[in-house]
């Protein structure tokens, strides 16, 4: 997740703001991407912990899915990000599909 510019007139808060530990500025991410492209790297990982998470996910995908479910459950139970969570839920159509 990329953070916002500290000089922004109306900076976001909560789930998407820089108040979350480890969020990088857009300028920092851009610099890492440019460096990675110049070096010819396929996988550009701007945040140091991202590569660790990537490797853990690849090493034991079932465990990673379990961790993401636990993380999601804690977010929902906290109620702190209810608006953001609602916005991410898929909208289900009440229309029934007609057969061809």
Q: What string of H, E and C letters represents the secondary structure of 10-77? A: CCCCHHHCCCCCCCECHHHHHHHHHHHHHHCCCCCCCCHHHHHHHHHHHHCHHHHHHHHHHHHHHHHH
Going residue by residue through the chain, which has 100 residues, state the pLDDT in tens, using 9 for 90 and above: 444 555 555 555 554 444 455 678 889 889 999 999 999 999 998 887 888 888 989 999 999 999 989 988 888 888 887 787 777 777 776 666 665 5
Q: Is residue 59 part of a domain?
A: no
Domain membership flag for residue 89: no
In a domain, 63, yes or no: no
Q: How many structural domains is the chain composed of?
A: 1
Residue 40 belongs to what domain range?
A: 1-45
- Flag whether 60 is in a domain: no
Model's pTM, two decimal places? 0.47
**Cα radius of gyration (the chain):** 18
């Amino acid at each position: 997740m990329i953070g916002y510019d500290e000089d922004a007139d109306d900076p976001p808060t909560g789930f998407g703001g820089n108040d979350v530990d480890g969020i990088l500025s857009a300028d920092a991410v851009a610099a890492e991407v440019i460096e990675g492209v110049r070096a010819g790297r396929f996988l550009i990982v701007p945040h140091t912990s991202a590569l660790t998470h990537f490797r853990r996910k690849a090493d034991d995908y079932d465990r990673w899915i379990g961790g993401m479910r636990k993380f999601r459950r804690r977010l929902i139970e906290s109620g702190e990000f209810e608006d953001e969570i609602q916005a991410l839920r898929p909208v289900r159509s009440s229309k029934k599909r007609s057969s061809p």
